[in-house]
A = this chain, B = another copy of it.
Amino acid sequence: MFKRFHQLYPADSMASDQKIYRASTTAPVNIAVIKYWGKRDPTLNLPTNSSLSVTLSQSDLRTHTTASCSSTYRKETPEDSLLLNGKLEPLTTPRSIACLRSLRALRSELESTNPSLPKLSTYPLRLASSNNFPTAAGLASSAAGFAALVRAIADLYELPQSPTELSLIARQGSGSACRSLLGGYVAWDKGSRDDGTDSCARLVAPKSHWPEMRALILVASAEQKSVSSTAGMQTTVKTSGLFRQRVEAVPQRMLEMEKAIREKDFEAFAEITRKESNSFHATCLDTDPPIFYMNETSKMAIRAVEAINKEAGRTVATYTFDAGPNCVIYYLEKDWDFLAAKLDLALDGKEGWSKERTSDAGGLGVGNERVEEGLKNGVSRVIMTSVGEGPISVQDHLIDEHGKPV
């Protein structure tokens, strides 16, 4: 009997065949200072221009994802599945399929060169994922989400590919996700090949090069659902006359931004960042029909930054807006006290706002009452964070050893 069983299920094989394989990672959000807007190939997510972002700390904003697979899943849930913040999401979108297919192909290669490896590429995948921030806040959750998905499955499959190589896969899930596979200051080079094999993330500088960079996110209550960035950017490409000029201007801007980061020149970083954001939103407005992502709260945040820099007599802060009304203010650690004192009257009492500072809260000063009032009314919460690392492997699994969500 034992022999017969052994023949059917050889010991090694049996062990591996019944096993629940798991790998978990956290992945960061990134906020672009040179924006991705417009695809030259919508299927492959190939952009019309290169972009550049700051990866934000995962202490404050991160997606936590566990990837798991097992032959035993075949009987229960033969389809790949994803539990996102406790809700079952389909993995049947073309973007998810593209990511899973690429990762399985890489695993399959490994398995074919080393036949002793378990055939994980043939097992159903069971994923679980959760964010430590509200998805509704409109904080580039898809970037962290797809970066975590790709990184977790790559770890599960024990793939040898570098983050840059994996970024090619994450890019197909969500363009900006490719930049979340690296920490610090990250470029996404648009590439020139039709198959997109040179359109990937590249490290401009690690966090350690310029660790003083801080980000203060003013989460603005959006009154209505905005145009999705996927739909919006392609309408811009098709209808905006000004868009071409923007695309032509980006290469020079990329060079200047990389130089600013290399030289830790905040003044230059700040100028490019704010002009870039405004140029991006200008092409949104030049779209037909026009797209408005910024609202009155966003404008007040801009005016606040302008007032703070004017008061300081130098550039202590800059702003950028993604496809939504939230303002991301970049500043350097050393200027926190000054910034905090200026913003305290407007942000006092908001969730996430810290009181830790040494100087008195003087507010934005005379003439800026309307700005302070606008922020008071329009900012729903604040996130204080900083430049951070790329994805981190963790042992805290969202799927237990029996394959069940925890």
Partner of A282, one of B249, B282, B296, B306: B282
Instruction: Judge whether A66 is part of the interface by a CB distance below 8 angstroms.
Output: no
A223 to B290, CA, bound (A): 23
Nearest neighbor of A288 in chain B, beta-carbon distance: B275
A binding-site residues for B, Cβ under 8 Å: 223-224, 240-242, 244-246, 249, 271, 274-275, 278-279, 281-283, 285-290, 292, 295-296, 299, 302, 306, 370
Q: Give the distance to chain B from A34, nearest Cβ to Cβ, in Å.
A: 13
> What are some 7 contacts across the A-B interface (CB < 8 A)?
A240-B282, A241-B249, A245-B245, A275-B288, A278-B288, A285-B285, A289-B306
Nearest neighbor of A285 in chain B, beta-carbon distance: B282
Known: A242-B245, A285-B285. 8 other contacts (CB 8 A): A223-B370, A241-B279, A245-B245, A278-B285, A278-B288, A278-B290, A281-B285, A290-B302
Chain B residues near A244 (CB, 8 Å)?
Answer: 245
Chain B residues near A287 (CB, 8 Å)?
Answer: 278
A272 to B107, CA, bound (A): 54
Chain B residues near A249 (CB, 8 Å)?
Answer: 241
B289 engages A279 (CB within 8 Å): no
Chain B residues near A246 (CB, 8 Å)?
Answer: 241-242
B289 engages A302 (CB within 8 Å): yes
A241 engages B275 (CB within 8 Å): yes
Q: Give the distance to chain B from A344, nearest Cβ to Cβ, in Å.
A: 23
Q: Give the distance to chain B from A368, nearest Cβ to Cβ, in Å.
A: 11
Partner of A224, one of B240, B292, B302, B370: B370
Chain B residues near A370 (CB, 8 Å)?
Answer: 223-224
Nearest neighbor of A278 in chain B, beta-carbon distance: B290
Chain B residues near A224 (CB, 8 Å)?
Answer: 370
A296 to B223, CA, bound (A): 11
Chain B residues near A278 (CB, 8 Å)?
Answer: 285-288, 290
Q: Give the distance to chain B from A270, nearest Cβ to Cβ, in Å.
A: 11
Chain B residues near A282 (CB, 8 Å)?
Answer: 240, 242, 282-283, 285-286
Q: Give the distance to chain B from A321, nearest Cβ to Cβ, in Å.
A: 11
A370 to B285, CA, bound (A): 20
A274 to B296, CA, bound (A): 22
Q: Which 4 A-B pairs have the closest CB atoms?
A: A245-B245, A282-B286, A282-B282, A282-B285
Q: Give the distance to chain B from A303, nearest Cβ to Cβ, in Å.
A: 9
A274, A289, A292, A306 pick with most chain B CB within 10 angstroms: A289
Nearest neighbor of A252 in chain B, beta-carbon distance: B241
Nearest neighbor of A309 in chain B, beta-carbon distance: B289
B283 engages A242 (CB within 8 Å): yes
Q: Give the distance to chain B from A29, nearest Cβ to Cβ, in Å.
A: 25
Chain B residues near A274 (CB, 8 Å)?
Answer: 288
Nearest neighbor of A241 in chain B, beta-carbon distance: B249
Nearest neighbor of A310 in chain B, beta-carbon distance: B289
A296 to B246, CA, bound (A): 26
